[in-house]
């Protein structure tokens, strides 16, 4: 069974926490250490960012991380090489998050094959049009048992959300707001209403809420309204500040308790 499906099947009585970091930042060779540290410290799922020069959905923190990673020499081929080296040690789901240009340049079927060889369970491609996903991407990904995770926002129509729910597997990435990534101090009433509206749709797929989660209030709000939370910018900032994944996860857990 795909590790993403297995995670949600076995964790129904607890709330999940997924972290994002950008491969190649702060150091080119640090990918394996970050993943193994987060797994050891109880993180349920990890999103590994593929650096790209024009990341439209990302805020300043993750944009900067991508720039550093590219300057360090990170490439998709090198990332797969690093992931293959720890494949047998990683028990939790790994999800690659990257933009269509990089993945298509690599070749989508080759990308899927490399994911399988590297222990990757899914991919998030923020700029992948849904029709292209249905007609071109999904048939190939299904052959490799790779989950393509689609995003929804407060502006996504109910019709589109139900189409995504019908034609995807794994989980739905529920973006907290129709803006770029970045930490927020709280989720206002408009966001809470969005969460309630999606809850009332009784979707088949579990949902993870991401974008803006950085403290106890936003974490608990996300976990009340979904299967769990995804944290990106806050952890990336801490990883850049400390240069050490152990110290960064300590600091993150401290921030999430306040």
Which residue do the tokens 């990257």 mark? 98
Whole-number Å distance between alpha carbons of 38 and 78 = 21
Nearest to 192 by CA among 207, 209, 180: 209
Q: What H or E segment, with its residue span, contains residue 49?
A: strand 45-49
Report which secondary-structure segment, H or E, holds 209. strand 207-210
Phi, psi at residue 42, to the nearest 5°?
95, 10
d(CA 210, CA 87): 26
**CA pair distance 64, 76, nearest whole angstrom:** 18
The Cα angle at residue 162 between residues 233 and 144, in degrees rounded to 5: 70
Whole-angstrom distance, CA of residue 48 vs CA of residue 46: 6
Q: Are 164 and 152 in contact (CB under 8 A)?
A: yes
User: Which residues are identified as catalytic?
Assistant: 47, 58
| Element at 173 (helix H, strand E) | strand 172-175
Instruction: Provide φ and ψ at 176, rounded to 5°.
Output: -65, -25
């Amino acid at each position: 069974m795909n590790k993403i499906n297995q995670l949600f099947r076995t964790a129904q009585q607890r709330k999940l926490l997924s972290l994002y970091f950008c491969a190649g930042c702060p150091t080119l060779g640090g990918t394996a250490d970050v993943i193994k540290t987060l797994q050891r410290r109880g993180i349920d799922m990890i999103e590994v960012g593929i650096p790209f020069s024009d990341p439209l959905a990302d805020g300043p923190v993750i944009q900067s991380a991508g720039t550093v990673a590219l300057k360090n020499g990170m490439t998709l081929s090198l990332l797969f090489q690093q992931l293959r080296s720890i494949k047998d040690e990683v028990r939790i789901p790994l999800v690659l998050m990257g933009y269509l240009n990089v993945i298509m340049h690599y070749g989508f079927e080759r990308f899927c094959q490399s994911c399988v060889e590297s222990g990757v369970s899914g991919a998030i491609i923020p700029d992948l049009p849904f029709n292209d996903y249905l007609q071109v991407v999904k048939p190939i990904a299904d052959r490799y048992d790779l989950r393509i995770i689609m995003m929804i926002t407060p502006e996504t129509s109910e019709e589109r959300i139900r189409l995504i729910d019908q034609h995807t597997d794994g989980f739905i990435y529920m973006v907290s707001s129709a803006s770029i990534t970045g930490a927020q101090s709280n989720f206002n009433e408009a966001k809470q209403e969005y969460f309630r509206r999606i809850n009332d749709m009784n979707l088949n797929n579990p949902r993870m809420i991401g974008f803006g989660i950085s403290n106890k209030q936003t974490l608990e709000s996300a976990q009340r309204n979904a299967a769990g939370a995804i944290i990106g910018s806050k952890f990336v900032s801490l990883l850049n500040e400390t240069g050490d994944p152990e110290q960064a996860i300590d600091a993150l857990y401290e921030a999430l308790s306040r």
